[in-house]
Structure formats: C-alpha cells, structure tokens
C-alpha cells in the first residue's frame, strides 16, 4: 500500500503539472504521513544529506560557467568556426547549427541551455537564409540534446554520484557517442536539405579562414580541454574542474571577449543560482523518493522481474532502454537519473554491462526525452524562441527522433565507442 501511495500521489501531482521537484517532495511527504515507520524528521534530513556531497558541487559551478560563457559572446564565434568547416555543403547553414550545438555542449553541460543560447541566434538566421522555420527550430531543439551527452554533462555527474562511478571516466565515455549523434543529425540535415534545395554558402574552404575562425574561438574551445585534461592529468577533481571553468569563463568573457560586463555578473549569477536550486531540489526530493523505494524493496523486485523475463543480456537491455525512453517522456532527466540509477545499475551489472557504458547509454536514452512530449523541455524552449506551437514542433522533430534512435542502437551494439578512451 505504501508503494501505491508513493507512486499514485507522484503521478497525480504530475498530471496536475506540479513541477517535478515539488511533486517528488509532496509524494514523499504524503507517504511519510501515511507510514508509521517514516518520520518527518527523516524526510527533512534526507533533503539536506542527499545534497551534502562534494561531487555534487560540480553541478552549480558547471551551470554558472555555462551561463557566463553563454553571455560572453561565444555563440557567434563557435558558429563562424562551424560554418568554415561545413557551411559550403548542401544545407551547410543547418549543419553548422548542429556543429555549433556540439561545440556549445562541450561548455554548457545542459540541453535547454544549449537550445536557448544557440537557438536565439541561429533560428532567425536560418529563416533569413531561406530555411523553413519548423525545420530550423527542429534542428536546434534536437541538437540541443547533445548538451547532456558531450562532457561536461550535468546528468553524467549525477549518474556518477548516484552509481558511485568515476565522473572523469563518464566524461570520457560520452565524447564519441555525443559526436556520433551530432554526425548522424548532420547526415539527415544534408539529405533533407538536398530534397528541399537548401544551398550552402558556396564559399571555398581556405586555410586562412580556418585559422582566423579558430583564433577567434580558441578561448571558448579551451574549456573542454582544460576540464578533461585537468581531470585525466590528475591535476584536479571534477568539482575543482568546474570551479576552474567558472574562473576561466569569467576571465575570457570579461577581459578577452569583453562582451560580458561586470554589471551583467549579478544577473548571470542569479540565473545560474536559480537553475542550480531547481536541480538541487530535484536531487534532494528524488533521493528521498529513492530511499522510500529501497525501503519497499522495489529495486530488488524490479530486478527479479526483469531477470525472470529473460537471461539474455541483449533482450534485457532492450527492455531497459524502452523503459528509459518512456521515463524520459514524463520525468525530468535529473530526477530520472537519481531515481532509476540505483534500480537499473544493479540489473546492468548482473547481465554483464560495464557501468560506464550503461551510464552513457542511460543519458543518451534520456536525452531523447528532451524532444518527446509531453515533458520535452527542449520543445518548450524552442517553441518559446520561434513561436511555433508545441504540437507542430513535436511533429517536426520526428525524423530527428529516429536519427537519435539509430545512433542509440549503434552505441548499444558497439560498446567500444564508449569505452575506447578508458
């Protein structure tokens, strides 16, 4: 009965469109009031202790670094660099938009932040170059999902904390899958653009233009190099890397790019703090929710039910992926990672899946949820930027949904794509 109350109240609040963090907290409160074995003190302590984690400190700092770099004039620089490489091809402007999202993903660690930063500039520019607005928006909305796959990725940090896995290894594991998704999107963009006769820039590739664009974007491109190089060089931890990223982002934006002023810092810090608080609330309430699940032995029951279906690892992995695809439609990525990692990771271990590979698979699968209704956070952000209604935009991203599914299947079948750098 406790399990029914926990899940029943949670989904009831979701139906009422209560924010995910509040819905998790309220369902935990109702369950605590019902159960004589759970005190309200336990509930309040869980909210504090679950966020009292050194590794989790990386989350607000990565968010702040992304906010600073997003307002520090890097979007245009990254696009100009991307346009040098792919702009001359059919559909080059749209392909450059995808590549720009890939570059920005290596800075922001967030899907919606990538859509907001790149979409505000690229969607109007693509429309001005003759692209259909629905297609232009669907490109940015879908490519924005790469923000949580290509490191530094906030959900990968949360998975590492929840599953007690190396965040550095997860970051390295996310590089090739993220690039693979970006390339498959660009391939689809090319063929669609060929069908619609979206021409490239017709400008020839020159070494001089490449050097000029690289020079202008070099400070932005150094962010992932500093983060991953520092972590794997043993110079600092992921959390310390996040702090260094903030300092570096502030220095570049204030003194080198000079497109962020000191008077802009309070609003930038405020936005980062608000986004951080939302995630930390979700972390706290989701951990409490997960504790209730453990007390009711739901993870063990779910693991037994999965293993009773089949002992074939491939079949079980398909079931897990389908479950995560469904979860991604209804539950925020951060909450889904914290709730379901302790449930699904032991199952993955029992069927012989490497925990790093499984973590990347989990994040890639949940990233697809950014473009699937009814939650589809990237859809909401893209709709707000372009003015296109959600139902119309949801239909426009369907081809990208299948492109991401194809990439996911490749990552599942070829785990070396995730593990080659480990």
Does the pLDDT value for residue 347 go beyond 70?
yes
> Which pLDDT belongs to residue 36?
67
pLDDT at 213 over 70: yes
For residue 167, give the 3-state DSSP assignment.
helix
* pLDDT tens by residue, 84-117: 888 888 999 899 999 999 998 888 778 888 898 8
Q: Is the pLDDT of residue 11 over 70?
A: yes
Chain center to CA of 128? 29
Q: Which residues contact 375 (CB under 8 A, 6 or more apart)?
A: 328, 329, 330, 331, 332, 369
Tens digits of residue pLDDT in 242-253: 999 899 989 988
Report, as an integer, the average pLDDT of 340-346: 89
Give the per-residue pLDDT at 3: 76
CA contacts within 13 A on the Cβ side of 337: 31
Of 221, 290, 251, whose CA–CA distance to 49 is shortest? Answer: 290
Residue 148 has pLDDT above 80, yes or no: yes
- Kindly indicate the confidence band of residue 345, based on its pLDDT and cuts at 50, 70 and 90: very high
3-state secondary structure at position 306: helix
How do residues 214-236 score in pLDDT, each as one tens digit? 888 888 888 888 888 888 888 88
pLDDT at 325: 94
Residues 415/354, Cβ–Cβ less than 8 Å: yes
CA 62 to chain centre: 12
Element spanning 214, H or E: helix 207-232
Residue scoring higher pLDDT (338 or 310):
338
Q: Radius of gyration of the chain from Cα atoms?
A: 21
Q: What is the pLDDT of residue 174?
A: 95
CB-based contacts of 174: which residues, under 8 Å, 6+ apart? 149, 150, 151, 153, 156, 360, 363, 418
Q: How far is CA 369 from CA 47, 234, 235, 241, 388, in A?
A: 26, 34, 35, 28, 19
Name the average pLDDT for the chain: 88
DSSP state of 254: I
pLDDT in tens, 374-409: 888 899 899 999 999 988 999 999 999 999 999 999
Helix axes 298-309, 265-295, angle to 10 degrees: 70
More confident residue, 413 or 55: 413
Look up tokens 């963009």; give the residue: 189
Q: Is 212's pLDDT higher than 90?
A: no
Supply the pLDDT for residue 355: 96
What angle, rounded to 10 degrees, do the helices at 92-108 and 207-232 form? 30
Q: What is the pTM of this model?
A: 0.88
**Residue from 178, 193, 108, 172 nearest 143 by CA:** 178
170 versus 109: which is more confidently predicted?
Answer: 170
Q: Is the dihedral of CA 357, 360, 363, 366 positive or negative?
A: negative
Going by pLDDT thresholds of 50, 70 and 90, the confidence category of residue 1 is: confident
Instruction: Give the torsion through C-alpha atoms of 202, 208, 212, 217, to 10 deg.
Output: 70
pLDDT value at residue 45: 78
């Amino acid at each position: 009965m406790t399990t029914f109350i926990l899940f029943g109240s949670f989904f009831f609040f979701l139906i009422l469109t209560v924010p995910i963090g509040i819905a998790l907290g309220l369902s935990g409160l109702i369950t605590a009031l019902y159960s004589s074995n759970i005190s309200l003190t336990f509930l309040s302590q869980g909210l504090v202790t679950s966020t009292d984690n050194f590794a989790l400190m990386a989350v607000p700092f990565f968010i702040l670094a992304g906010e600073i770099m997003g307002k520090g004039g890097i979007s245009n620089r990254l696009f100009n660099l991307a346009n040098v490489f792919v702009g001359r091809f059919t559909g080059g402007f749209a392909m450059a938009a995808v590549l720009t999202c890939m570059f920005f993903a290596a800075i922001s660690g967030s899907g919606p932040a990538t859509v907001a930063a790149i979409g505000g500039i690229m969607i109007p520019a693509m429309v001005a170059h003759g692209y259909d607005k629905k297609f232009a928006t669907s490109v940015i909305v879908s490519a924005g999902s790469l923000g949580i796959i290509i490191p530094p990725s906030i959900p990968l940090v949360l998975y590492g904390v929840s599953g007690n896995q190396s965040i550095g290894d997860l970051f390295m594991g996310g590089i090739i899958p993220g690039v693979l998704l970006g390339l498959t999107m660009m391939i689809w963009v090319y063929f669609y653009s060929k069908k619609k006769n979206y021409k490239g820039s017709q400008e020839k590739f020159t070494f001089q233009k490449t050097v000029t664009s690289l020079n202008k974007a070099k400070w932005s491109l150094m962010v992932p190099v500093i983060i991953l190089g520092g972590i794997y060089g043993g110079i600092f931890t992921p959390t310390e890397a996040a702090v260094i990223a903030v300092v570096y982002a502030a220095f570049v934006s204030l003194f080198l790019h000079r497109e962020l002023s000191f008077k802009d810092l309070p609003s930038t810090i405020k936005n980062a703090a608000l986004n951080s608080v939302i995630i930390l609330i979700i972390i706290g309430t989701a951990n409490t929710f997960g504790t209730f699940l453990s007390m009711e032995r739901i993870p063990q029951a779910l693991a037994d039910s999965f293993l009773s279906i089949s002992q074939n690892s491939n079949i079980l992995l398909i079931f897990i992926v389908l479950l995560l695809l469904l979860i991604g439609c209804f539950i925020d990525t951060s909450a889904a990672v914290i709730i379901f990692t302790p449930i699904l990771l032991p199952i993955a271990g029992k069927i012989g899946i490497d925990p790093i590979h499984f973590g990347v698979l989990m994040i890639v699968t949940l990233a697809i949820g950014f473009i699937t209704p009814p939650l589809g956070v990237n859809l909401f952000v893209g709709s707000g930027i372009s003015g296109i209604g959600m139902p119309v935009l949801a239909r426009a991203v369907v081809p990208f949904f299948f492109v991401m599914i194809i990439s996911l299947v490749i990552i599942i079948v070829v785990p070396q794509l995730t593990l080659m750098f480990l």
